[in-house]
Amino acid sequence: MAITKERKKELVAQYADLLDQSKAIILTEYSGLNVKQMQLLRAQVRQADGSFHVTKNTLLRLALAESGQELPDELLVGQLGTGFAMNEVELPDYHLIGEEDKGFYMTMEGFDCARILIGAVCLGAARRALELGMEYIKQRKVFGNPIGKYEGIHFELADDWAELESLRSLVYRTAWMMDRRFKEKRFSPLETASMISACKLKTPHFAFDVFKHVMLWFGAFGYTKECPVEMGLRGIMSYCVGAEGTLNIQRVVIARELLGKEYVAYK
């Protein structure tokens, strides 16, 4: 995969912002490059500008762009991120964010906010799935009637809608508490912890169940790439399996706040 010197400079200029990021996202090695080709491309880009930290994910993006390929929709399955480490780095005081030795607590505040956002994302996805499902069950006919007339559909729809509305209240209330916590110091981190974990605990599996129900309403079509329900089911599963904390960790947090720290098993 030879690249001219002029083209190397163009690549560096075009992707400078991407190459300088510590987290470059790529979803698959769709470019088909082998290890030696990846190493060659890495060396060529570094030679053009050695100041950039070139990750494997970045190289895949460059390879795709260079070959004129686009990432197909069926490969939009997940997200991979790269990490970085800094050793023996000294920073002046004016680069300090927050208080010294409080980085862990600031990071956990980010987790708190993210878990509420995940709750909102899951409920928004579930709501859209129900909308798609309701449109379909009004049109799909079996034995001369729309399947939306049958109680087997009614009961699932009613239960899903009722739980959606109750969980929306939970997420909205928790978001309001976090807003008051930062603006008015009205709630402490401990007072919001159990509410935040409740959002993360309940909403992903609820949304997954909604997508499962709607997929069954659609029948075989719901399992195909042409149906957006299929992609939604896979996307929601990422929140069930651990994004921003596993579900059992949320249970540990809730139990700790209900019983007290002296009843946690890790101490």
186 in the same domain as 81: no
In this prediction, residues 241-262 reach a mean pLDDT of 86
Confidence (pLDDT) at 51:
40
Residue finishing a domain among 37, 56, 89: 89
Domain assignment of residue 73, yes or no: yes
Tell whether 28 and 148 lie within a shared domain: no
Q: Which of 142-146, 183-187, 199-203 has the lowest mean pLDDT?
A: 183-187
Q: Which of 78-87, 157-166, 234-243 has the lowest mean pLDDT?
A: 78-87
Same domain, 178 and 206: yes
Same domain? 129 vs 177: yes
DSSP string, 101-162: T-HHHHHHHHHHHHHHHHHHHHHHHHHHHHHHHHHHHHH-EETTEEGGGSHHHHHHHHHHHH
Catalytic residue set: 244
pLDDT confidence of residue 53: 45
Strand partners, 26: 80
Q: Are residues 85 and 107 in the same domain?
A: no
Same domain, 110 and 71: no
- Write down the pLDDT at residue 158: 96
Q: What is the pLDDT of residue 61?
A: 54
pTM over 0.75: no
Under the banding of pLDDT at 50, 70 and 90, the label for residue 110 is confident
Residue 256, domain extent: 103-263
Asked which of 64, 89, 114 is the last residue of a domain, the reply is 89
Domain count, the chain: 2
Query: Average pLDDT for residues 167-185, to the nearest whole number?
Result: 92
Predicted local distance difference test score (pLDDT) of residue 112: 85
Mean pLDDT of the region 260-267? 80
- Residue 244 vs residue 255, higher pLDDT: 255
For residue 137, pLDDT beyond 50: yes
Please give the distance of CA 135 from its chain centroid, rounded to a whole number.
27
Q: Is residue 98 part of a domain?
A: no
60 and 126 fall within a common domain: no
Q: What is the CATH number of the domain that holds 175?
A: 1.20.140.10
Based on the domain organization, do 14 and 49 belong to the same domain? Answer: yes
pLDDT at 186: 85
